[in-house]
Amino acid sequence: MTALYLANARLIDPGALTDAPGSLTLRDGLIAARDTPPPPDARIVDCGGHPLAPGIVDWGVKIGEPGERHRESFRSAGAAAAAGGVTTIIARPDTHPPIDTPETLEFVTRRAAESPVRIRHMAALTKGRRGAEMTEIGFLLDAGAIAFTDGDHVATDTRALSRALTYARSLGALVVGHPQDAGLSAGAAVTSGKFASLLGLPAVHPMAERIGFDRDMGLVEMTRARWHADQVTGARTLPALARAKANGLDVTAGISIHHLTLNDLDVGDYRTFFKLTPPLRSEDDRLAMVEAVASGLIDTVGSMHTPADEESKRLPFEEAAAGAVGLQTLLPAAMRLYHAGALTLPQIFRAMALNPAARLGLPQGRLAAGAPADLVLFDPDAPFILDRFALLSKSKNTPFDGQRMEGKVVATWVGGTRVFGD
């Protein structure tokens, strides 16, 4: 197979945390060499001095198949991902029906083959995501499940959850939790505070996340399960996360790009595109989260892509569906943190590519010889005004509509094959 030589690039290495000029040689879908002369048979691509980084591994993407294909299909999600520099999607099981049987998992795996990017699936931890009876974790692992989660459904039956964690531990399966106290957060639409009171909306205190996290850490300590928090968004949770890691628990945590770049004031005049789960936090919490990503305390950053149709969002704020699309806006939104001097490009790709891949046991996220040639070439300084109707997702519920942004994907490769860009 003809080699591909990516010359004149600015290599972003999240493993070494370096940002330096260099080149990559791709062959047979893998990175064959770094910073070597081009092979005689190579096709040379001039990267124009732009940053070249491992493709994003977006952990926590909702795709509407089965049951809600009108909101997002594998084809549309894959197109949006490729345009956004996402080369691997880790899909959530909160579909209709949920991915809680090997048969359903095999169905979505076959359907995902039409996507231009890689798609791996998480499976439900409990049947119907109801938190009562565990799924057939062993069979689901054999069918290709990469992790197990009930999504934003918080289990209240602690005994049933402990059984599921114990069983998952015996099989070495990774469990993804949603740290939140179910009682305190029930019906909440925003984060409590003066602004929430002025809006007159049902609110939840960030301590609900801390309480839920502490409960989950107790269960993890008891069962010794491998555990990942899908989103840690409150500063009060960070000391508990640090203690859990210091105590030797196999625990990691993630956060959405929206909670790193937006705060609760962005809700403004009841703008439902800013209604998320968990709700947007205060500016102090946001800044604390950015610092936690920079230090490595929070391990992963993803889009938490949650498509919603117009009918679901054009409702009173309290009744509107929660969630925002983010596959195509993840990278330009992250560039806000880069341009603000809060995170370096290697730190950003450590959280968006290397760490999620490593936690899930995937070979992606690296610029090393032998790693998959899943790459994104981008211009971090390219300005544009986001038009939500230009997004390739079927659903257009982005909070960044009409906003000035910087950072455009120039090209995306999956397994050495260009899936986006001229």
Per-residue pLDDT of the chain (422 residues; tens, 9 = 90+): 689 999 999 999 999 999 999 999 999 999 999 999 999 999 999 999 999 999 999 999 999 999 999 999 999 999 999 999 999 999 999 999 999 999 999 999 999 998 999 999 999 999 999 999 999 999 999 999 999 999 999 999 999 999 999 999 999 999 999 999 999 999 999 999 999 999 999 999 999 999 999 999 999 999 999 999 999 999 999 999 999 999 999 999 999 999 999 999 999 999 999 999 999 999 999 999 999 999 999 999 999 999 999 999 999 999 999 999 999 999 999 999 999 999 999 999 999 999 999 999 999 999 999 999 999 999 999 999 999 999 999 999 999 999 999 999 999 999 999 999 98
How far apart CA 172 and CA 170 sit, in angstroms, is 6
- Report how far apart, in Å, the C-alpha atoms of 99 and of each of 62, 70, 128, 181 are: 12, 18, 8, 24
pLDDT of residue 1: 66
H helical segments located in 38-191: 74-83, 102-111, 137-142, 158-171, 182-185
Q: Report helix, strand or coil for 206.
A: coil
Closest CA to 306 of 321, 330, 329, 325: 325
Residue 56's Cβ-side half-sphere holds a number of Cα atoms within 13 Å equal to 36
What is the DSSP-derived secondary structure letter of residue 238?
H
Count the neighbouring beta carbons within 10 Å of the beta carbon of residue 35.
11
pLDDT tens-digit profile of 252-296?
999 999 999 999 999 999 999 999 999 999 999 999 999 999 999
pLDDT tens-digit profile of 14-37?
999 999 999 999 999 999 999 999
Q: Are the C-beta atoms of residues 218 and 227 closer than 8 Å to each other?
A: no
User: CB neighbours of 214 closer than 8 A, spacing ≥ 6?
Assistant: 240
* Joined tokens for residue 250: 């196999």
Q: Are the C-beta atoms of residues 202 and 187 closer than 8 Å to each other?
A: yes
pLDDT of residue 146: 98
Q: Are the C-beta atoms of residues 233 and 259 closer than 8 Å to each other?
A: yes
Burial class of residue 119 (count of CB atoms within 10 Å of its CB; 0-12, 13-18, 19+): buried
pLDDT of residue 2: 83
pTM attached to this predicted model: 0.96
pLDDT of residue 422: 81
How far apart CA 154 and CA 163 sit, in angstroms, is 15
Q: Helices 207-223 and 238-246: crossing angle, nearest 10°?
A: 10
* Joined tokens for residue 294: 């920079």
User: CB neighbours of 57 closer than 8 A, spacing ≥ 6?
Assistant: 86, 87, 88, 90, 352, 353, 356, 357, 360, 362, 364, 365
pLDDT of residue 160: 96
- Report how far apart, in Å, the C-alpha atoms of 65 and of each of 26, 75, 393 are: 33, 10, 14
In the chain the domains, ranked by start, together with CATH numbers, are 55-363 (3.20.20.140)
Q: Residues 106-112: contacts with CB within 8 Å, 24+ apart?
A: 106/143, 106/144, 107/66, 108/63, 108/65, 108/66, 108/74, 109/143, 109/144, 111/65, 111/74, 112/74
